[in-house]
Structure 1
Amino acid sequence: MDRADIVHENFRMRAASGDLPGGADPVASLGAQDAIRLFRAQCLSRALDRTSRAMQKAGQGFYTIGSSGHEGMAAVAHALRPDDIAFLHYRDAAFQIARADQVPGQSILWDMLLSFACSSEDPVSGGRHKVLGSKALMIPPQTSTIASHLPKAVGAAYGIGLARRRPPEHRVLPEDAIAVATFGDASLNHSTAQGAINTAGWTSVQSVPLPLLLVCEDNGIGISTPTPKGWVAASMRHRPGIRYFSANALDIYETAQVAAEAARYVRCHRKPAFLHLTMVRLYGHAGADLPTTYMPAAQVEAEEANDPLLHSVRLLDAAGAMGRADALAIYDETCARVSRVAEEVVTRPHLKTAKDVMASIIPPRRLCAPSNGPSEEARQAAFGSDLKQMEQPQPMSRLINWALTDLMATHGELALMGEDVGRKGGVYGVTQRLQQRFGTDRVIDTILDEQSILGLAIGMAHNGFVPIPEIQFLAYLHNAEDQLRGEAATLPFFSQGQFTNPMVLRIAGLGYQKGFGGHFHNDNSLAVLRDIPGLIVACPSTGPDAAKMLRECVRLAREEQRVVVFVEPIALYPMRDLFEAGDNAWIGTYPAPDERIRLGEVGVHGQGRDLAILTYGNGHYLSRQAQKTLGAQGIDARVIDMRWIAPLPEKALLDAVRGCGSVLVVDECRRTGGQAEALMALIVERAELPVTRLTAEDSFIATGLAYAATMPSVDSIVAAAKEACE
């Protein structure tokens, strides 16, 4: 027999005969009606697990990872409020069911079965995945949560605290709400979990409000790898800044009591707590996984004998809330009801086309208060003496700083965060004085952990803020890229746009830094960003463009709820001269606060018809120098600055190259995976022009005099241009 059938038959037989597992007497934490409601939630969770397995065998359901053994999470939901944002572990069906019972008008059975069947009528993901989640229940959907949701739970908790002092325009969560994140004992070992927990403790020790409840569901095993006994308690009991609570989750009375204590502590003290729940895992990890292939049969049977539903029957009987016969009747009726509803659910429609699937990649727009920029009084207060310098040309780093100042003075929901962005003002001084202008809670010096920086931003966006996180160097992004790929960009996709986490991620990057840091500080690859669906990637090359593009990026995040990455070329931060020392041809004056470059607008320099040089970033700077040399040699070229890396501004680029004899793509990123690949394909497929490319080599970048040896240079651009024209 299937282990699910064995557990089912054992429950019916033992509940009927009174052969129940032993344990402590029920504590006085639940009234009779509440206890019965939680038992009903447990039964529904169990019945849904069994039905999902039947649906999969019939080809009517998908992804059968279940919650059996974790039904004690219903008591955790009971201890919380339905407006406490909850980032759930995939074994928490009982939590969601119990929470639905707290909110009028919910059809949780129908909704969850629609998700199991991947029906397009699923109110959460619209048929894109079997997920737990609900806008009405304040449960953002998660897919396979291996701790990746913990950093944003920390961010959500910080955002709750910040909103009490600086309420954003689109605040979602109440002032006294708390954030909850649940996860397994195996996930606790993931570096993402450890980083998030460390960040929570680090923040708490500094007396920063952080109302966060971390719930570890310890079933003693991660797929097939056992967790050492006592490991979770030993590693978490004495973490600084985090209060430790523990309970036996087989006992809904004890769990409800301890969970309520933990929630009360977090809500009252605005500090994080760790709730350690011991439980069992039934059926194996997921689907066809057979636990007896990697666990002794006696151990599997011992866990099954500890079925939490059997414990609940004993406890309800001992508390005088409900007898065994009535409990068994509820279980049988629930199983029958779920089977009946499933027969109807499997007839509901499904997604069929690529257009259907992709409909929620781009989040919906939201109505925002009109913005006319900051008042003169606000600008005077923010800029001070800097206002006098605005008529003078300035390098890119200064213009980005001023753009950030204007934006933050205009929009109170903007917040910057990152390593060294505050007191130091960033490694290159780009964020200097911003913390003095706007305070430590809006310009946040973070811990040295890129996952936590991005998680802070994602979580704050859940409560209406528009974060502007900074990753100090492009190469450091790879420590945290899953926070973009697996969390930020997928949230609107899996929630049909009901949940969003808009942000503008600033990254100092690309190459051409003279003799500094090698490939960790000179990283010329944007490939990891370009293939994330829905992500916008911007890359300015001049100071005025950077200011105007940054304003558009903030508008995209604020009004269109987009996730935007703003890549700032480090080598161009201080650049002043273009053709010769002292010409000041690469600096510009600060654009008026209402000027911006819209998404998809490219820059065209010159009207040459012999050649179009298609480039961006440092390539634009070098190509402008090459353009002058080529003109002296009789080749009339125009230089096209892409500005927007993703989505590729195809129409604007095709318009920009029209009328040219040939096209040269100059790409400072590596030949493999660089922008040149897509640009070459675009020109070949739609422009019908001869096209060649000059790219960086497939190499890391060296330190010292060879810092630019592997990347395009003025000389190599001139040579490639001549060859293209010939």
Structure 2
Amino acid sequence: MADALPQEQRFLDALRHDDWPAPEQERRLDEVGLDREALVELFESQLTSRHLDLHARRLQARGEGFYTIGSAGHEGNAAIARAFRPDDPAFLHYRDAAFLIQRSHAVPDQTPIRDLLLSFVASADDPISGGRHKVLGSKALHIPPQTSTIASHLPKAVGAAHSLGLWRRLGGGGEWPQDSVVVCSFGDASFNHSSAQGALNAAGWAAWQGMPMPLVMVCEDNGLGISMPTPPGWIAASMQGRPGFHYLECDGLDLLDTWRAAREAAHAARIHRRPVFLHMRCVRLYGHAGSDAEQAYRSAARIEADEARDPLLVSAGLLRRHGVLSVDEIAERYRAIGDRVAREAEEVIRRPKLSRAQEVMASIVPPPRAGRRKDWQGEVDTTPAPMARLINQALQRLMARYPHLVMAGEDIGRKGGVYGVTQRLQAQFGPHRVIDTLLDEQSILGLGIGLAQSGLVPILEIQFLAYLHNAEDQLRGEAATLSFFSNGQYTNPMVVRIAGLGYQKGFGGHFHNDNAIAVLRDIPGLLVACPASGQEAVGLLQEAVRLADEEQRVVVVLEPIARYHGRDLLEEGDDRWCFADPGPEYRLAVGELGQWGEGRDLAIVSYGNGIHLSRQAAVRLEAEGIAVRIIDLRWLTAIDHEALHDRVADCARVLVVDECRRSGSVSEELITGLVERGIPGERLARLSAEDSFIPLGPAATVTLPSVEGIVERALGLVGRQGR
């Protein structure tokens, strides 16, 4: 082993002297229910993981590898993998290569060494991500890929665990057997992140009420968050008395103790359907990553002490003390696995890489699948009604037509939502399908992602747009990336209804009136719709559910609160903003524009509340002799710019009315798209909201577009003065 890295030297020295550290507590193999062959297999999984870590650094030094955050010190999780079935879904910590390698032993035709090396070199042949990122994942092993370093995958693990009991209530089905257990793992530093604490709270909250929650949350505690030490005893003190949880701990350096605790955790979660917190103590070796010089923040004595506790040393010692392998047999396994990793690495570095934008982006949009919609057998109430009532009717139909559709959100069940949009749905479909959640948007979105990965289609409600912002990473970093990082093999189709935008006069200030949508529009693959009327809301919502069910898309429907119960257009009592329910087959496809009027003097392009305002402004503009047409976007992402250009190209002037903030608004994209297609800038203008939060009281609308503002800007654009 002439090319041995410095990190290997301690193990090689132990081999030479046959000198191995002992575990904290000596156990017999039969005492923990592990045979000699199984112990050897676990050790080989650990060795494989270690050699992959070491070779990742060799590849990086040669300019061939791109990822060196390794699993060294955490390899005891191989024993955790063996304690669970290969069809138990596992949402893994990024230091869990040994888990994946060990699980591969239970499934035929797996090639974990090659697969992980392909991910290190970002090859397009990587079977999980297609070269987009180094992730631990495998469709065959039921390991959805995670990119999280801050435990943002834990909320969806809670949702996946909840889905198992829900599928039982629905009569069967789903991606995993109903007696499965969900495994998720994370580090001690991530334990402190709000996403982890929210997931722990949601799981305990559910279990406290007797809801099935077959979940094992594995905290791999190496005592460090990059350079920040975890206070000794913090994890145990935080979790030992946590309501709803069964707490277990193990020495992650000792395969026998880890196997003992993992088996107990799997049994408790599978039989009792309650969450288990498995606290695995381990060490972090070789720094946080290849570029991390831990000598800058850790003493040499502390580093030396951790290296002396290397789990491979402890495992080799177990094999020696139990008479399972000789020193020469251990050395031969170490050499053979290292040689195999090196040999396969030389092959994978020659495999193709992604080289074109189209290749990178190919998996942003998931693949289609067969739809599961049933025929509608009921009547349609065509009495003209405001938006809230029509949405309610559409949701009722959708829940009846899609037996696998589940709704979840704060107050949506017994109360029927803050604005009454979901009234009577829980009474009709039951609390298991119309779920009143705890007050935590992060947990709501995580619940939906987990439900969706299990084969359900969730419709989630976020009570106000302003409440999304503390949880938006569940959309950005989790829901929208799953297809991308799994090469379309894993998806989490869902519909998120968000009540938002402004014009609620005197109510709530910027916590309830929020016109910040840029965060939604810049997420690749996410679709965002915004209706202006109840009829459009029905068409967009029914299309959103079809998109989730058949095309596996993540769709946000942004519902203007001010239009929920608004009935009138021009004067009180005219009922001109009430519409008939267009029925169950009415759907507005992505990019499909709406239009009112045929005027050619001025085209107004808008959406949501802006359409209502523009319709009012059009009456005054027509009185000035200006012929107006109004173009309704409906979709705020995947905009069909060619179609929009065609709709306005014959108009003398074009005004974009955008109720969202001037910076980062959709109007920027619209104006740019029109200029790129040949419409001169002097024919274009935009009217947007100010770059401001929305205040409370009489000033609630002064930063937003108004009828007066639209009329004034339109007259100026066409070169006229108002009467």
Q: TM-score, normalised by structure 1?
A: 0.97
Partner of 1:17: 17
Q: Deviations over 1:225-270 (max 9, x none)?
A: 0001111100001100010000001010111111010010000011
Aligned counterpart, 1:721? 714
Question: Counterparts of 1:368 and 1:669 in 2: how far apart (Å)?
Answer: 35
Residue 551 of structure 1, CA deviation: 0.3
Partner of 1:496: helix, strand, or coil?
coil
Q: How does 1:617-656 map to 2 (within 5 A)?
A: 617-656=608-647
> Is the contact between residue 214 and residue 270 of structure 2 (CA under 8 Å) also seen in structure 1?
yes
Partner letter of residue 15 of structure 1? Answer: L
Query: What secondary structure, in the 3-state scheme, does the structure 2 residue paired with 1:141 have?
Result: coil
| Bigger shift: residues 638-647 or 136-145 | 136-145
Q: 1:491 deviation in Å? A: 0.3
Partner of 2:98: 94
Aligned to 2:133: 129
* Contact 1:576-1:586 at 8 Å conserved across structures: yes
Alignment partner of 1:307 is 2:310: yes
Structure 2 equivalent of residue 374 of structure 1: 376
Give the whole-Å Cα distance in 1 for the aligned partners of 2:102 and 2:298.
32
Question: What residue identity is the alignment partner of 1:397?
Answer: A
SS at match of 1:620: helix
Partner of 1:212 in structure 2? 215
- Among 505, 517, 534, the alignment partner of 1:543 is 534
SS class of match (2:5): helix
Three-state SS of the structure 2 residue aligned to 1:600 is coil
SS in 2 for 1:478: coil
Alpha-carbon deviations, 1:204-239, whole Å to 9, x = none?
Answer: 011111111100000011100000111110000110
- Partners of 1:4 and 1:50 within 8 A in 2: no
User: Equivalent residue for 1:383?
Assistant: none
Give the Cα–Cα distance (whole angstroms) in 1 for the partners of residues 421 and 291 of structure 2.
54
- What is the number of residues matched between the two proteins? 712
How far is 1:687 from its partner?
Answer: 4.2
Equivalent residues in 2 for 1:232-381 (5 A)?
Answer: 232-369=235-372, 371-376=373-378
Question: In structure 2, how many angstroms separate the alpha carbons of the residues matched to 1:530 and 1:573?
Answer: 23
Q: Deviations over 1:59-83 (max 9, x none)?
A: 1010210000000000000000111
Are the counterparts in 2 of residues 373 and 407 from structure 1 also a CA contact under 8 Å? no
Distance 2:394 2:81 in 1: 44
Distance 1:89 1:694 in 2: 47
Instruction: Kindly indicate whether the alpha-carbon contact (under 8 Å) linking 2:613 and 2:707 is maintained by their aligned counterparts in 1.
Output: yes
Distance 2:367 2:322 in 1: 50
Report whether the alignment pairs 1:140 with 2:144: yes
Quote the residue 1:6 is aligned against.
Answer: 6
Question: Structure 2: how far apart are the matches of 1:408 and 1:483?
Answer: 24
Counterpart-to-counterpart distance in 1, 2:12 and 2:4: 13
Alignment RMSD (CA, Å): 1.3
Q: Say if 2:104 and 2:141, in contact at 8 Å, map to a contact too.
A: yes
Do the aligned partners of 1:450 and 1:476 also contact (CA within 8 Å) in 2?
yes
Contact residue 488 and residue 501 of structure 1 kept, 8 A: yes
Matches within 5 A, 1:437-476: 437-476=428-467
Whether the aligned pair in 1 keeps the contact of 2:590 and 2:638 (CA below 8 Å) is: no
Matched residue, 1:157: 161
State the secondary structure of the residue aligned to 2:581.
coil
In the alignment, which of 667, 686, 692 is matched to residue 685 of structure 2? Answer: 692
2:370 & 2:551 partners in 1: Cα distance?
9
Q: Does the CA contact (< 8 Å) of 1:49 and 1:68 recur in 2?
A: yes
State the AA in 1 paired with 2:347.
E
Whichever residue aligns with residue 394 of structure 2, its letter is A
Deviation at 1:320, TM superposition (A): 2.5
State how far apart, in whole Å, the 1-side matches of 2:241 and 2:376 are.
Answer: 47
Identity among equivalent positions (%) equals: 57
Q: Shift in Å at residue 655 of structure 1?
A: 2.1
Q: Give the letter for the 2:7 counterpart.
A: V
- In 2, Cα distance between equivalents of 1:582 and 1:178: 57
Q: Tell me the secondary structure at the aligned position of residue 427 of structure 1.
A: coil
| 1:702 is aligned to 2:703 | no
Q: Alpha-carbon deviation of 1:168?
A: 6.8
Distance in 1, Cα, partners of 2:4 & 2:597: 71
Letter in 1 for 2:337: T
Query: Quick check: 2:156–2:449 contact (8 Å CA) kept in 1?
Result: yes
Structure 1 residue aligned with 2:124: 120
Deviations 1:641-670 (A, max 9, x none): 100001122222122213111100000001
1:15 Cα offset (Å): 2.4
SS of the equivalent of 1:132 reads coil
Give the equivalent residue in structure 1 for 2:660: 669
**How far is 1:5 from its partner?**
2.7
SS in 2 for 1:35: helix
- Decide which moves more: 27-36 or 424-433: 27-36
- Output aligned runs, 1:178-197, within 5 Å: 178-197=181-200
The 5 Å alignment of 1:562-581 reads 562-581=553-572
Structure 1 segments unaligned to the other structure (5+ residues):
380-386
